[in-house]
Amino acid sequence: MELKKHHQELTARLYLLDDGRDDQLSEELIELHEKKCSTCQEDRLSCTVRPACKDRNFLNMLIEIGVEPQDLPSFCYSTYLEQIRRFILEKKGRGMVDRRIPIKDLLSTLRVSSIRQFTTKFKDEWSQSAVARDNNLMLVAGDELRFFFDFSRGIVVLNPIHMEIKELELVRLYVLLLSELYELNASIEDITLDWWVISIFTDHIPEAKARKALKDRLAKDFEGIYVEESNEGLEIQVEIIIDDSRGPIISGNLEQLFRLVSRLRQSESTE
């Protein structure tokens, strides 16, 4: 385990005081956690069932900042990969949210040799799936699993619920994925810089019911929600504005929007 040499990768994420002091803090934090990791791994039973860092968040952070697998705490990392394998393949274990994994280690853990084999293999096994890709980013959804592949960084995020979305291209990618997954007709419009509108077109949902459900559950997450009925059905418009006062949209909020519209439509069509 070689962690201290990676303190500068953590420094780049801090932005707390100034470069020199942030670098000193990150080096001390890494050193303290390295000692904590060593002690934790000496008791393998505790490391397996009750790791010293809750939900292995320190390990998750190390992967996020780009620490190479050979420098990670080895037993903790092998346990982490096994838990991910069981969660994906056997649907066992606690729900894993925002878990980072190097792409090559995910493929190896799932015993697939390539991204193509990954998508082909699991598409046949999942009852519901969708894929959206743009340049170095790819989103994969299968049943209740979500995968966010960043090929430029070599990292995949399993079930990214709290991931901040600051770019139009990534919002567009999510709209493509979720509209396919939930079988909804949706698009996104770039109004101005950092102001975007998602439009979802559907039927079977009464206007008043849709407006109440969406505003009750999602009003705090989006800038504005508008519902309008026409001869063609229902149009739902959701505004996203990103600035210093509002902050970025969260990936889980986008999923909740499409899931809610889909459930409203299903409940009306079965009545």
* Domain identity same for 169 and 258: yes
Which residues are CB-neighbours of 135 under 8 A, at least 6 positions away?
Answer: none
Report the number of distinct structural domains present in the chain.
Answer: 3
Average pLDDT value for residue range 73-87: 95
* Domain identity same for 114 and 156: yes
Confidence of residue 177 (pLDDT cuts 50, 70, 90): very high
pLDDT of residue 67: 92
pLDDT of residue 192: 84
pLDDT of residue 4: 80
Average pLDDT value for residue range 55-68: 93
pTM (two decimals):
0.91
Task: Please report, rounded to a whole number, the percentage of residues in the chain having pLDDT higher than 70.
Answer: 99
- Candidates 72, 93, 71; CA nearest to 82 is 93
86 within a domain of the structure (yes/no): no
Place of tokens 């934790």: 40
* Domain identity same for 180 and 252: yes
Task: Give the end of a domain, one of 160, 176, 194.
Answer: 160
Task: Give the end of a domain, one of 115, 145, 160.
Answer: 160
Mean residue pLDDT of the chain comes to 91
* Domain identity same for 64 and 135: no
84 within a domain of the structure (yes/no): no
* Domain identity same for 72 and 168: no
- Candidates 38, 107, 114; CA nearest to 76 is 38
* Domain identity same for 168 and 262: yes
pLDDT over threshold 80, residue 269: no
pLDDT of residue 174: 97
Q: Is pLDDT larger for residue 231 or for residue 143? A: 143
* Domain identity same for 168 and 184: yes
* Domain identity same for 197 and 220: yes
- For 240-247, the CB contacts below 8 A with 24+ separation are 240/171, 240/195, 240/196, 240/197, 240/198, 241/194, 241/195, 241/196, 242/166, 242/194, 242/195, 243/194, 247/164
Full domain range(s) for residue 225:
164-269
pLDDT of residue 271: 55
